Chain A
Amino acid sequence: MRLVVDLNRCQGYAQCAFLAPDVFTLHGHEALRYTPYADDSRREQVARAVAACPVGAILLDDLPENLPDDVAGDGAGGPADGLHAAGPGVG
């Protein structure tokens, strides 16, 4: 699971830090830190945090990590899967 918190929305209510303390922590009274990924063992607590956020600031996705939504390459620029892009200038 990948996740990101919109810290503009975040108001430090800390519901996530209560309910999913392995993923979200408060640094000081309201600055939030989080781990931007979580494995399946944290699924339950992360779901609690997402639902409880009073400002809906936590975005979570469950898509597999390898960009499965990519369309097939068009042949012009090598494989379409960005993770293995073979086009010019690949670092």
Chain B
Amino acid sequence: MSAERGGGGEGDGSLERLRRDGRIVIVGASLAGLRAAETLREQGFTGSLTLIGDEPEPPYDRPPLSKQVLLGTVDADRTTLPRRRAIGARWRLGTAATGLDLAARRVRLAGGEEVPYDRLLIATGVRARPWPHPAEADLDGVFTLRTGRDAARLRRRLAAGPRRVLVIGGGFMGSEIASACRELGLPVTVVERGPAPLVGALGGVIGQVAAELQRAHGVDLRCSVMVTGLEGDAAGRLRRAHLSDGTALEVDLAVVALGAVRNTEWLAGSGLGAGPRGVACDAGCRAFDVRGLVTDDVFVAGDVARTPHPLFGYQFLSLEHWGNAVAQAEVAAHNMVSPGPDRRPHLWIPAFWSAQFGVNIKSVGVPTMGEELLIAQGSLAERSFTGVYGYQGRVIAAVTFDQTNWLDFYRRQIETAAPFPPVCRTVDRRPDGLRPVPADFPDPSLPTHGPTVTLSGYSPTDRRIVFTPARG
């Protein structure tokens, strides 16, 4: 059987047939893929469900890989994700999808087999960006960290006691790796091309705090410097790294933490709007084709998705966030088996966390859109604070260091486009919080002029978007 193409086909019973005995294929068997599968069953989908994943392991949780696993308190193969429910799926693990035929509705697998679908969910996520020089990347002692296997290999090397660990890139992943190394008592150097760690995600002011945090924990932190080359010995083992300031480091272990690459190559030539920045989809998670037309049988969720968010100027956001993967998978799954009027937009407010050097860093909103920053509570010097980012006179994001209890309040401020700087008095307002300072992002976003969009309602059941046309 096959559901009729097109969103208007519900009246003819095709949606009921799809829900009863249609074929749904999910490409990507990690967090988003698993949660989508569970949601489909929760929603009453009783047809066939196939999960295709290139890794051989059942869906597992990645955040512990850069923390507990590197520390050796949890084995890399023991982070399997718990299930919310049984899903009765056909699993095709260890099998990469290599192509998509939109017209024939078939996913091609490595090896040539084709899997037909009535609805497809793309949740192929991202992979670690490799070191750009393949020969150097192949040196023994050069690692990336994305998969459970990466983590297991890296853990073995850390346990063997390297002379010094080089972490290339001071983003969240690099910083967490450095934190684990210090906790293990290993000498570690972090090389960051920007002026401070975390600067790309949180700006220069917070970056300075992160830099001091790292140095206080014994990290040899080198900022505004790049690694220009990795050098091996005769046996192909890493022994030295060369830096752009002309210095060299004797290291036998390097972790490349330069961000991620979206897994979209398999969609090349499929006619889907997929590229290096991800797969574009609408707020209902339906993929766009290359013409910019929305499809009705192909959905996208998780790290690989790019989706417009009404609160953030309808910009297409790509979020490598755990919580986004879950929320978007739920919305995508719901919409895959729901008639048009019952479909929901994915209105998740971006949120992430990182634990490093004993500090819990959390953020909501889109800090990178922030022009200014106000330390609304606490103090930078104590490394316990709440920072609020402003964009065109409204609150656009917030970050906390060990003050997560307050984050909900600032999420509401973002949702309701509260004015920035917040004039209100709060508890724990310090001299730091008297006036905003430039958030100091290396590459500030361009301003746009548009209407105001806010989210209203406290209860998740009565959340709605309020659109206020631009004035004047």
Contact residues of A with B, CB < 8 Å? Answer: 1-4, 6-8, 10-12, 27-37, 59-61, 63, 65, 67-71, 73-74, 76-77, 80-83, 85, 87-91
Contacts and interface: CB of A to CB of B under 8 A. Distances in A.
A63 B83 contact: yes
Contacts of B113: 76-77, 87-88
B111 A4 contact: no
Contacts of A68: 86
B83 A10 contact: no
A36 B94 contact: no
Contacts of A8: 321-323, 351-353, 362
B249 interface: no
Contacts of A69: 83, 86-89
B326 interface: yes
B360 A12 contact: yes
A88 B109 contact: yes
Interface stretch (B67-75, B225-233, B430-438): B67-75
A80 to B, nearest CB: 5
B447 interface: no
Interface of B: 29, 48, 51, 53-56, 58, 61, 63-64, 67-68, 73-74, 78-84, 86-96, 109-113, 115, 149, 321-323, 326, 351-353, 355, 358-360, 362, 384, 402, 404-405, 407
A76 B48 CA distance: 14
Contacts of B321: 8
B91 A80 contact: yes
B88 A89 contact: no
B58 A67 contact: yes
B82 A82 contact: no
Contacts of A70: 88-91
Interface centre among A31, A61, A69, A73 (most CB of B within 10 A): A31
Given A28-B360, A36-B78, A63-B83, A85 B89 contact: no
Contact of B323 (A6, A60, A74, A83): A6
A1 B80 CA distance: 10
B257 to A, nearest CB: 19
Contacts of A6: 322-323, 326
A31 B95 CA distance: 36
Best-surrounded residue of B56, B113, B407 (most CB of chain A within 10 A): B56
A7 B81 contact: no
Given A4-B61, A7-B353, A36-B74, A89 B95 contact: yes
A63 B80 CA distance: 12
Contacts of A88: 95, 109-113
A81 B321 CA distance: 29
A89 B313 CA distance: 42
A87 B83 contact: no
A28 B359 contact: yes
Contacts of A32: 355, 360
B267 to A, nearest CB: 18
A89 B90 contact: no
Contacts of B68: 33-36
Nearest to B59: A82
B82 A85 contact: no
Contacts of B84: 59, 61
B86 A2 contact: no
Nearest to A8: B323
B93 A85 contact: yes
Given A8-B353, A65-B80, 13 more contacts: A2-B81, A6-B326, A12-B402, A29-B360, A31-B358, A31-B360, A34-B68, A36-B68, A71-B90, A83-B93, A88-B112, A90-B94, A90-B95
B74 A35 contact: yes
Ranked nearest first, the 3 interchain pairs of A and B with the lowest CB-CB distance are: A88-B111, A82-B91, A28-B358
Given A7-B322, A85-B95, A33 B355 contact: yes
Nearest to A74: B90
A20 to B, nearest CB: 15
Contacts of A61: 82-84
12 contacts: A33-B67, A37-B80, A67-B91, A69-B89, A70-B89, A77-B92, A77-B95, A77-B109, A80-B91, A81-B91, A85-B56, A91-B94
A81 B67 CA distance: 30
Nearest to A73: B90
A31 to B, nearest CB: 4
A58 to B, nearest CB: 9
Nearest to B54: A89
Task: Tell which of B78, B91, B109, B113 has the most Cβ of chain A within 10 Å.
Answer: B91
Contact of A82 (B79, B88, B92, B407): B92
A36 B82 CA distance: 9
B109 A87 contact: yes
Contacts of B89: 69-71
Contacts of B92: 77, 82, 85, 87
Contacts of A82: 29, 51, 53, 56, 58, 91-94
Nearest to B69: A36
